[in-house]
Amino acid sequence: MKTIKTLITASVISLSFASVSFAGTDNSQLEQAINGEHRSAANKARDQYRHPMETLNFFGFNANMTVVEIAPGGGWYTEILAPALKGKGKLYGAHYPDTGEDNYYSNSRRNLEKKLASNAVFSEVELTNFIPKKASKLAPAESADLVLTFRNLHNWGEEGMAQVFKDAYKALKKGGVLGVVEHRMPENQSWKDNKRSGYVPQALAVKYAEEAGFKLAASSEINANPKDNANHPKGVWTLPPSLRLGEQDKEKYLAIGESDRMTLKFIK
């Protein structure tokens, strides 16, 4: 397994190449989507931690692409991707299916469907079914230019991570990009002892992506937060926006901000 230091060194070279490749891309539609009135002030306030413009540009996004967002959850990134692609590209939302049960996964799917029905900016989004530990058809085979997942790896475990990367590989065209953003566990922390913290070792994400057939093209510190040591009483949920401890040490955790995150770009 390569060390993180080695990966970052290699990534600087790859990122320089990527910057040249996408320098001429017109992402005015993406900028309009990020600044759109359909986004709430609360969601826009999180841009300072999530850096949507810089992150999507790093992954090579443009408005003509076919894009898959895996496990969009409440649709924070969907609010940006849907209007940014509307009329030119295609967005698939690969989400947990609604089984009719009263559980997190089914309720999350229903809430997302309500959100998509609430505004015309989402009218071209197509939902597909996704189950982390089972082979899932995220989109038609070899149809996608870009597959994205934001802060989801910790929910899937190693088995789920391995399967999702395989599913992403099948959905992507040759030369397509898998973009991953995830809460990053420091190298000096034990994955075995901290699996429920919400943080994932960067080397582990790279390992399973490479086993699925991907090559790491670049890594970025766009979403890094050096104030976050990833050692909190309630794991990553101690930090905003969750603030799981309530008023206890609230100002301390607000001062840290949202988690330190890896941002990885893989190529099929």
Each domain of the chain, given as residue ranges in start order, spans 4-267
Classify domain 4-267 by CATH number: 3.40.50.150
Average pLDDT over residues 138-155: 98
CA 264 to chain centre: 10
What does the alpha-carbon distance between residue 129 and residue 132 come to, in Å, rounded to a whole number?
10
What SS3 state is found at 39? coil
Q: Is the pLDDT of residue 61 over 80?
A: yes
pLDDT band for 27, please (50, 70, 90 cuts). Answer: confident
Instruction: Check pLDDT > 70 for residue 224.
Output: yes
pLDDT digits (tens, 9 = 90+) for 66-77: 999 999 999 999
Whether the Cβ atoms of residue 155 and residue 72 lie closer than 8 Å to each other: no
Q: Is 90 helix (H, G, I), strand (E, B) or coil?
A: strand
Closest CA to 167 of 182, 187, 152: 152
Over the stretch 77-91, which tens digit does the pLDDT of each residue have? 999 999 999 999 999
Integer Cα distance of 35 and 98 in angstroms: 31
Give the separation between CA 259 and CA 256, rounded to whole angstroms.
Answer: 8
Mean pLDDT of 132-146: 96
Tokens encoding 244? 């799981």
Compute the distance between CA of residue 92 and CA of residue 95 in angstroms, rounded to an integer.
Answer: 9
10 Å CB burial of residue 135 (0-12, 13-18, 19+) is exposed
Which pLDDT score is estimated for 26?
66
Average pLDDT, the chain: 91
Rounded to whole angstroms, how far apart are CA atoms 245 and 257?
A: 14
* Contact of 137 with 97, CB cutoff 8 Å: no
3-state secondary structure of 233: coil
pTM of the model: 0.89
Strand 66-70 relative to strand 144-150, pairing:
parallel
Residue 43: the pLDDT is 96
